[in-house]
Amino acid sequence: MAEATMLDARGLKCPMPIVKAKKALDPIAPGETLKVVATDPGSVLDFQGWAKTSSLFELVKQEEGTDDQGRKTYTHYLRKK
Amino acid sequence: MTTEIRTGLDPAVKAYIDEQVAALRKDLPDNRVAMVVFSGELDRQLASLVIATGAVAMGLEVSIFYTFWGLSALKKGRRLRGKTLKEKMFAMMTPTSLAKMPVSKMNFGGIGSAMLKTMMKENDVSSIDDLFAMAREMGVKIIACTMSMDVMGIAKEELVDGIGLGGVAAFLGEAARSRVSLFI
């Protein structure tokens, strides 16, 4: 996978991860990937729900992890259509 | 005997199908959300703005119709000049901004509202004013209900600039073509 544009959405609460992701998706080229790192556990279903209705991107994968501050993270890979 | 291989539809059938498809397409809802915000409470207004900003981010167009107690969200401040006694009483008893609204449960004379705002801040949830500003910046269409403005004696100069004014048909015109319609 080519280098993804990264969006740090850690600490953001609903609806901000979605709002920021939309803003970050707009300028990137079709086929490019946006990587969104969030700490909101609700973001997992949020991105799945958005992907269902969106013609803007495709949800490639979602990962769980831990950041350097020990917070649980949810990473979403969005490929722009 | 010849065998005819059909490669296309009968032109009459095709014309009929095209016509039906065009009629159906015209009737499809838009990717739109239409909301009525009737309540003048901080928690309910918060819900409407979270849905509105989320919806715009997801590529939906959003219209919010503010009516009755909900209109307080659009006020610039308190104005009593030119109002009748009853209208003045309404103006005195209704909040002048989103942040001054009570909560729908456990308000306890405003303590609940203050606590909710503090707890939102502690949890890094955007403030109600930020959400409203963001919704506007993202292009959420705002319409104030003229009938309730008249009843409550609210002039359009008392409300924030750049909003639309309308009635039930303005709402239903949008709601009928929306995929999501909510009353909050």
What are the pLDDT digits (tens) for A21-36?
A: 999 999 999 999 999 9
The full length of chain A comes to 81
Q: Looking up tokens 């909510």, which residue turns up?
A: B182
Chain B residues with CB under 8 Å of A23 CB are 57
**Measured between CB atoms, does B53 come within 8 Å of chain A?**
yes
Q: Which of A16, A50, A55 sits opposite B126 (nearest CB)?
A: A16
What does the alpha-carbon distance between residue B46 and residue B63 come to, in Å, rounded to a whole number? 16
Question: pLDDT tens for residues B123-164?
Answer: 989 999 999 999 999 999 999 999 999 999 999 999 999 999
Distance from CA of B85 to the nearest CA of A (A): 42
Is residue A13 within 8 Å of A41, Cβ to Cβ? no
What does the alpha-carbon distance between residue B181 and residue B175 come to, in Å, rounded to a whole number? 6
| pLDDT band of B1, cuts 50, 70, 90 | low
- 3 state SS of B49: helix
Q: Known catalytic residue: A14?
A: yes
Supply the pLDDT for residue B42.
97
What does the alpha-carbon distance between residue B75 and residue A78 come to, in Å, rounded to a whole number? 39
Distance from CA of B22 to the nearest CA of A (A): 22
Chain A residues with CB under 8 Å of B59 CB are 22, 53-56
Closest chain A residue to B127, measured at CA: A13
Question: pLDDT tens for residues B51-62?
Answer: 999 999 999 999
Q: Residues A6, A11, A13, A14: which is the catalytic one?
A: A14
Cβ contact (<8 Å) for B54 and A18?
yes
Cβ contact (<8 Å) for B57 and A53?
no
Q: Among positive and negative, which fits the CA dihedral A45, A48, A54, A58?
A: positive
Q: What DSSP character marks residue B75? A: B
Q: What DSSP character marks residue B19? A: H
Q: Which of A11, A13, A50 sits opposite B58 (nearest CB)?
A: A50
So where are chain A's domains?
5-80
**Measured between CB atoms, does A4 come within 8 Å of chain B?**
no
Please identify, in words, the CATH class of the domain defined by B30-183.
Answer: alpha beta
Mean predicted confidence (pLDDT) in B166-177: 89
What CATH number belongs to A5-80?
A: 3.30.110.40
Chain B residues with CB under 8 Å of A11 CB are 124
Cβ contact (<8 Å) for A22 and B59?
yes
